[in-house]
């Protein structure tokens, strides 16, 4: 197993006595997620198994189980606060998700982005097989302008949605061959695409197609983040669109050219801090190599984004 905070583990109820299985499942799900209530169709001989991948940033769980109804009440939310989001994607079976007066019926090919900050009811059919990706709240709020997508049905049968489903499956299938930065990098891209899906139909079409503009701008910013001269104007010139089109496209996604460029540069620094091949680079080297004007400007932005300085993150990994 690669070194770092990346961990893969698995569990199954089959190794336990039949009467102990439901309680064991409840305890493990509470550890994996947050405090919830559980109602089992049958508590005797309950069958469930999981494979979990996690780092300090993301967690992906593939699970199969008999029928369970999960509930998160206002009491649970107060007792065990959790602002993070979950991307829920059934591979087999059906999930009925209710939150804030809305209902989403999820079958293979559909998904939902749900917040654990609010109460919900989640009824999962017998023989359920699904993915659940835990996403830090800031990753969603910054892209969606602090909107909470509640039980948002996402079409994962075509276009970006199909890519999201494929990436989740590949992330699971390659679990034994990933490193900490690789798992986080792929998860970052999945979240980026999911947020684009969540606001897709909410964006009005304008000359230049704002959805296309946003996709291309994000890709260009990621590929050229290390360029110290990168700005909204230079991106517009390189891509053949007006600065106003770029600003409108990113505004609908809750960000600006400046914020997008800073975010991609910070991700680049984070990935390099976690990469063994970059251990020889000083913080100043990393700053200049990632498009920042100085080590101090990097440290200020990095601490605001990740809660620690670049040096502290590197030391914690060591």
pLDDT tens digit string along 197-227?
A: 776 543 334 434 677 788 889 999 999 999 9
User: In order of start, what are the domains of the chain with their CATH numbers?
Assistant: 7-171 (2.60.120.10), 203-317 (1.10.10.60)
pTM: 0.65
Q: Tens of pLDDT along 271-288?
A: 999 888 888 899 999 999
Distance CA 195, CA 199 (A): 6
Q: CA 138 to CA 305: how far, in whole Å?
A: 9
Q: Give the integer Cα–Cα distance in Å for 142 and 255.
A: 7
One pLDDT digit (tens) per residue for the chain, 318 residues: 344 589 999 999 998 999 999 999 999 999 999 999 999 998 888 999 999 999 999 999 999 999 999 999 999 988 899 989 999 999 999 999 888 777 788 899 889 888 888 899 999 999 999 999 999 988 887 666 544 444 457 888 888 888 999 999 999 999 999 999 999 999 998 998 888 777 654 333 443 467 778 888 999 999 999 999 999 888 888 887 777 788 888 887 788 899 999 999 999 999 999 888 888 899 999 999 999 999 999 999 999 998 899 998 888 766
> What number of H helices and E strands is found in the chain?
12, 12
Q: CB neighbours of 149 closer than 8 A, spacing ≥ 6?
A: 85, 113, 114, 115, 140, 198
Radius of gyration of the chain (CA): 21
């Amino acid at each position: 197993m690669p070194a770092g905070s990346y961990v893969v583990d698995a569990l199954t109820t089959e190794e336990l006595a039949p009467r102990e299985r439901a309680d064991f499942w409840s305890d493990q799900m509470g550890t994996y997620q947050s405090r919830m209530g559980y109602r089992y169709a049958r508590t005797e001989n309950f069958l469930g198994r999981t494979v979990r991948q996690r780092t300090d940033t993301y967690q992906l769980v593939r699970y199969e189980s008999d029928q369970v109804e999960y509930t998160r009440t206002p009491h649970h939310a107060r007792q065990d606060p959790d602002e993070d989001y979950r991307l829920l994607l059934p591979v087999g079976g059906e999930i009925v998700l209710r939150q804030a007066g809305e209902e989403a019926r999820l079958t293979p090919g559909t998904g939902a982005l749900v917040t654990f900050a609010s109460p919900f009811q989640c009824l999962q059919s017998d023989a359920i097989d699904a993915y659940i990706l835990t996403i830090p709240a800031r990753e969603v709020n910054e892209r969606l302008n602090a909107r909470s997508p509640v039980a948002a049905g996402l079409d994962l049968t075509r276009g970006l949605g199909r890519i999201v489903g494929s990436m989740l499956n590949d992330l699971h299938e390659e679990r034994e061959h990933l490193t900490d930065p690789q798992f986080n990098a792929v998860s970052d891209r999945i979240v980026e695409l999911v947020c684009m899906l969540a606001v897709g139909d909410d964006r009005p079409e304008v000359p230049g197609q704002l959805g296309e503009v946003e996709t291309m701008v994000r890709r260009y910013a990621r590929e050229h983040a290390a360029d110290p001269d990168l700005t909204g104007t230079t991106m517009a010139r390189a891509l053949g669109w007006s600065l106003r089109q770029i600003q409108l496209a990113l505004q609908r996604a809750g960000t600006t050219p400046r914020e997008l460029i800073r975010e991609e540069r910070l991700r680049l620094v984070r990935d390099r801090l976690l990469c063994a091949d970059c251990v020889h680079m000083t913080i100043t080297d990393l700053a200049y190599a990632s498009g920042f004007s100085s080590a101090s400007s990097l440290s200020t932005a990095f601490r605001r984004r990740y809660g620690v300085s670049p040096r502290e993150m590197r030391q914690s990994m060591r």
